[in-house]
Structure 1
Amino acid sequence: MSGRTLGHGPGRDAPVTVTAGLEVPAGTRLATDVIRPDGPGRHPALVLRTPYSKARHLAEARGWARRGFAVVVQDVRGRYESAGAWEPYRHEAGDGAVTVEWARAQPWCDGRVVAYGASYAAHCAIQTALATRVDAALVLVPAVGLAETARETTGVPRLASRAGWWTTYGDCRTERPGWYEARLADDPALLRHLPVLDLPARLGVPLPSWPRLWAARPQPDLAARLAALHTPLLSVGGLYDPFLDWSIRLWRWWGGPGTPVRLLLGPWTHDLVSSQRGAGERPRRPAHRVRLADLMVAWTRAALAGRLTPGPSAAVAVEAADGWLRLTSWPPGEEVPLPLDGRPGDLGFALAPGGDPETAHAFVADPEDPFPSVEGLVDVGPPRADCCRYESEALGEPVVLAGRPAAELRAYSDAPDNDWVARLSEVGRDGRAIQLAVGVTRGSGAGWRRVRVELGDVCVRLAAGARLRLEIAGHHFPAHARNPQTGADPLTATELRPARRRIDPERSALVLPVLAEPRCLPPDRLLEVIAQ
């Protein structure tokens, strides 16, 4: 295995040595760099495997190395400098296991190895931990698998994000930066193309693995396999990350009763920076500006030293409040139903229908003009006729929601196959609507049915004077592929039909996870939750 030493990097704490051009044999050549503290000595190793170019992680790896870790950064099979064929999500368990054993055998490694990564690299870390022994696993905003990223847990296909990711990174050795955005700008109707399986032809880019994405099935027995692990885990997620559910699931499923598992959820998107993607959204609270790198280093040192208290612990930021919740289970909130017929619920206020009383509980879901998904958090679109819209009166006192809201519906459709969408927003005194959570489920047939639409997890303090808005619709496009409402598969369908929908308000409710009198921690106490 060859390598070249690039030299010592300047740093605040200590110089580092970067050795590039190494090759790990795993049936093919996996291009690998090692960044470690300068000089002799043995150190715990972090293994970070990425499809986004190991060169992009050099600064991050230097930071870890200055804190006493040897970092193994590797291009996954078929990407950038690594040989082989790029087949997303296919080879990461085996290649990860080989890389861990290679790292453990190096003279600069003290025998302890941490599987580490964010997004796709978090998937690599999880698969590595399942395939071989590691001493700790640190995963951020995990994209846990092919099928798991392609669809919601309810089976509804994610369209826009997968089209963007596959166009940029799929079936190519490096990437196609800006290609998808340019095509979308030139062709605004791009994602309306039918059938969805033929979308690469409209994109003008060869994506032979596109059908494999949609044919993928969820990983079998994943919960049971994770439960069998005894490796310490830190799962870091964002309250505005589309894969938030998996950050929480990992924490809930990982290890037995005595396994130290930690969860950190902040007000972040998938980039772990901030939820502020447009003007007028919630300002970041000082209490939520944390030094994530310092927390991760402290947790990793404690995990490798065996100092973590057994069992689960979590720190979750309370949006619009100055603090964090310390929890040992999720969700912590009590489910409180709020009827959709205008009757006051247990919270002391009503969620009343808007519009014409004769049509307030009925709409037509037309896939030719689908109910739109919101880009960002603030909904600036005008009211739509293709949904049932319910809005509360102003809250008389603050309310903390912590957990997963749900719409419990008695609902009607005249179509043989339907999607049901529920979107919950907070409407401020200025009239702006900030999306709190959205959920979509599929599978109810024609006629009256009981439908439960689970929305995404939230942790937010609603101020007195705010109002809640619930919208019930039949589509959520382009975030999700349109249901043709003919009974055909949304991925192969070429014909669309409208469907008449109706809600029975007397037998339907919005179920809110209300947390009474929460005690919030200041940020300087996060260390005791995460690393003790």
Structure 2
Amino acid sequence: MTVASRVLSRLLELPPADTHDVIVERDLEVPMPDGVKLLADRYVPRGGDRLPTLLVRSPYGRGSFFGLQFGRLFAERGFQVLIQSVRGTFGSGGRFDPFRDERADGLATLEWMKRQDWFSGEFATLGPSYLGLVQWALARDAGPTLKAMAVHETASQFRGQTYAGGAFSLDTVLSWVHLVRTQEKAGLGGVLARLGAARKLKPLLRHLPLNEVDTLAVGERVAFYQDWLEHDAEGDPWWNPADFSGSVSEVTAPVHLIGGWYDIFLPWQVNDYAALRQAGRTPYLTIGPWTHVAPAGMAVAARESLVWLKAHLKGERHLLREAPVRVFVMGANTWRDFSEWPPPGARPQRWHLQAGRGLSPATPEASEPDRYRYDPADPTPTVGGALLTREAGPRDNHELESRPDILTYTSTPLDKDLEVIGPVRAELFVRSSLAHTDFFARLCDVDGSGKSINICDGLLRLVPGRPAPEPDGTLRVTLELWPTAHRFLAGHRLRLQVSSGAHPRYARNTGSGEPLATAKTLVAADQSVFHDPAHPSALVLPVMG
């Protein structure tokens, strides 16, 4: 056991290792059908040939932290681990074209594994984010040798996250482009590039047109970034080779999905869970109060994955918890177990927007709409939420809410605790001066001091004819917010923000209708939000009890 593995094991609160004697075979060449060779490292306890294998495929390298986290720590606990660099990364041949080669390369790697003397005939997959997508890429066609999957903060398709609500996830995409383009740079220059990423990217997030930003960020045009800008239309078949959501229901291996309430992939990960349930499977689901890169989430994922893999590869099923669904209820700061998601017993409760910026279950009275102007030259900023960067998570929105381009609707102080667990949505009746515009809704918990903490949110991009106008010309828009589990304590107030942007989490809507890649013309939008008996705008909450 290395000092690093000892320290990380303690930080992750892992059970004691079975052995400290791990052999590492580096730079194994795995041939692909097109002649390209992908490099892999094999971690195995000494004398542990024919142990079940864990396959980890990654664009982030095989050594350093990833090798420690997914290789040595699991090998010390009774598994062989094969960590492979995906095509075009860290010595593997070919060109890195995210997502699109992962099914073929994953299945070719599996066939290579089957030919190795050390392969026992059983394997499992694990890992977060991109390391999770590659699991879904091969899962359906892996056959009976695939015994389990542990997928963390990921989804079976990344298109949904890339264009959440129909808008381009600018902050996440550009941060990731910079990461994968600088991660292999050696020496001091590479270190400085990675440490200075946030400072360098901040001004570039405001640059237009977007098809110039990759060159400004990393010094060259990035082909896959340009592709994502060009292929933003819903239903574009270009994304089909990178979308594995259609095969989720056909996956028969046991799956444990682990996510976070502020993770960028959460809504689509929950969709994967639902697809498995509808197919008659019994997946496990664990969701905690984490962002995509939170150390606490990484620790729970490591422990839960180890239990899951031991249960399904080593027969230690007594380690499994009884309830397949476990979620952390924020506000109450406690874990709750359920038989399924959404949990039984949650009932939708409508909290209507009211005149005077109120929010209550009462039917709204006759009133004039509230109005604001959204100016893309000064886009409404994002504070916290589901981001890839360190600015993610719960934050105080009080200062943000003072902007004139944000409407807030706030309840009176609650008489008793209100527990909300499940999907959340906002149904708004609106009107805009523009055919191309966005609406953003965010649920916040306001405490007695006035601190307004974001719980969940969602955005919807409107285009001509979608949604179709009501007979009186208003638009009825439904915004699916991130699902959540939160207890609003007695004395706290519920607050709904309504605005038309959250920049740079979402690329601003220029209002011009110009293509995403080349848009430069900025047109301000005059927005109206209705709240009267004919237009009962509401926040719909899944209330327990």
TM-score in same-fold range (> 0.5): yes
- The verdict on how the C-alpha distance between 1:200 and 1:270 changes in structure 2, with shifts beyond 3 A counting, is same
2:13 maps to none
Residue 155 (str. 1) matches residue 155 (str. 2): no
1:348-497 equivalences under 5 Å are 361-375=370-384, 376=392, 377-378=394-395, 379-382=397-400, 383-445=402-464, 447-497=473-523
Residue 241 (str. 1) matches residue 224 (str. 2): no
**In 2, Cα distance between the equivalents of 1:346 and 1:492?**
40
Residue 115 (str. 1) matches residue 125 (str. 2): yes
Q: Which AA in structure 1 matches 2:455?
A: L
Tell whether the 8 Å contact from 1:79 to 1:172 is kept in structure 2 after alignment: no
Residue 172 of structure 1: how far off its partner (Å): 7.6
Deviation per CA, 1:193-219, whole angstroms, max 9, x where unpaired?
111122123335213312112234444
Please give the secondary structure, in 2, of the residue aligned with 1:488.
coil
Residue 516 (str. 1) matches residue 538 (str. 2): no
**In 1, Cα distance between the equivalents of 2:382 and 2:529?**
21
Residue 183 of structure 1: how far off its partner (Å): 6.4
1:279 maps to none
Deviation per CA, 1:107-163, whole angstroms, max 9, x where unpaired?
2221101122211111111102134222222111115445234211x3211001111
**In 1, Cα distance between the equivalents of 2:219 and 2:128?**
27
Please give the secondary structure, in 1, of the residue aligned with 2:120.
strand
Identity value in percent: 27
With 92-101 and 289-298 compared, the bigger mean Cα shift is at 289-298
Residue 93 of structure 1: how far off its partner (Å): 0.9
Residue 477 of structure 1: how far off its partner (Å): 0.6
- The verdict on how the C-alpha distance between 1:187 and 1:400 changes in structure 2, with shifts beyond 3 A counting, is closer
Residue 214 (str. 1) matches residue 229 (str. 2): yes
1:226 maps to 248
1:197 maps to 211
Q: Which AA in structure 1 matches 2:160?
A: E
- The verdict on how the C-alpha distance between 1:344 and 1:180 changes in structure 2, with shifts beyond 3 A counting, is closer
Query: Which of 106, 117, 125 is the aligned partner of 1:96?
Result: 106
2:340 maps to 328
1:528 maps to none
Residue 255 of structure 1: how far off its partner (Å): 6.7
Tell whether the 8 Å contact from 2:354 to 2:360 is kept in structure 1 after alignment: no
Please give the secondary structure, in 2, of the residue aligned with 1:267.
strand
Size of the alignment, in residue pairs?
Answer: 491
Query: Which of 293, 297, 302 is the aligned partner of 2:306?
Result: 297
**In 2, Cα distance between the equivalents of 1:392 and 1:323?**
27
2:273 maps to 251
1:13 maps to 18
**In 1, Cα distance between the equivalents of 2:303 and 2:196?**
38
2:67 maps to 58
Query: Which of 325, 332, 339 is the aligned partner of 1:314?
Result: 325
**In 2, Cα distance between the equivalents of 1:96 and 1:121?**
11
Tell whether the 8 Å contact from 2:258 to 2:285 is kept in structure 1 after alignment: yes
Please give the secondary structure, in 1, of the residue aligned with 2:30.
strand
Residue 329 of structure 1: how far off its partner (Å): 2.7
Tell whether the 8 Å contact from 2:429 to 2:537 is kept in structure 1 after alignment: no
**In 2, Cα distance between the equivalents of 1:371 and 1:197?**
22
Tell whether the 8 Å contact from 2:359 to 2:495 is kept in structure 1 after alignment: no
**In 2, Cα distance between the equivalents of 1:177 and 1:336?**
50
Q: Which consecutive unaligned segments of at least 5 residues does structure 2 have?
A: 7-15, 385-391
Q: Which has the higher helix share?
A: 2
With 191-200 and 295-304 compared, the bigger mean Cα shift is at 295-304
1:524 maps to none
Residue 366 of structure 1: how far off its partner (Å): 0.7
**In 1, Cα distance between the equivalents of 2:364 and 2:445?**
13
Residue 178 of structure 1: how far off its partner (Å): 5.4
Tell whether the 8 Å contact from 1:49 to 1:124 is kept in structure 2 after alignment: yes
Please give the secondary structure, in 2, of the residue aligned with 1:20.
strand
Q: Which AA in structure 2 matches 1:167?
A: H
Residue 104 of structure 1: how far off its partner (Å): 3.0
**In 2, Cα distance between the equivalents of 1:181 and 1:410?**
44
Tell whether the 8 Å contact from 2:326 to 2:335 is kept in structure 1 after alignment: no
Q: Which AA in structure 2 matches 1:13?
A: D
Computed over aligned residues only, the root mean square deviation of the Cα atoms, in angstroms, reads: 3.2
**In 2, Cα distance between the equivalents of 1:363 and 1:346?**
18
Q: Which AA in structure 2 matches 1:24?
A: V
With 28-37 and 202-211 compared, the bigger mean Cα shift is at 202-211
- The verdict on how the C-alpha distance between 1:172 and 1:351 changes in structure 2, with shifts beyond 3 A counting, is farther
1:179 maps to 193
**In 1, Cα distance between the equivalents of 2:438 and 2:228?**
21
Tell whether the 8 Å contact from 1:343 to 1:350 is kept in structure 2 after alignment: no
Normalising by structure 1, what TM-score? 0.84
Please give the secondary structure, in 1, of the residue aligned with 2:291.
coil
Tell whether the 8 Å contact from 1:260 to 1:312 is kept in structure 2 after alignment: no
Please give the secondary structure, in 2, of the residue aligned with 1:386.
coil
Tell whether the 8 Å contact from 1:403 to 1:458 is kept in structure 2 after alignment: yes
Q: Which AA in structure 2 matches 1:384?
A: R
Tell whether the 8 Å contact from 1:30 to 1:83 is kept in structure 2 after alignment: yes
2:389 maps to none
Q: Which AA in structure 2 matches 1:404?
A: P
**In 1, Cα distance between the equivalents of 2:255 and 2:455?**
28
- The verdict on how the C-alpha distance between 1:123 and 1:40 changes in structure 2, with shifts beyond 3 A counting, is closer
Residue 81 (str. 1) matches residue 91 (str. 2): yes
Residue 35 (str. 1) matches residue 43 (str. 2): yes
Residue 291 of structure 1: how far off its partner (Å): 4.9
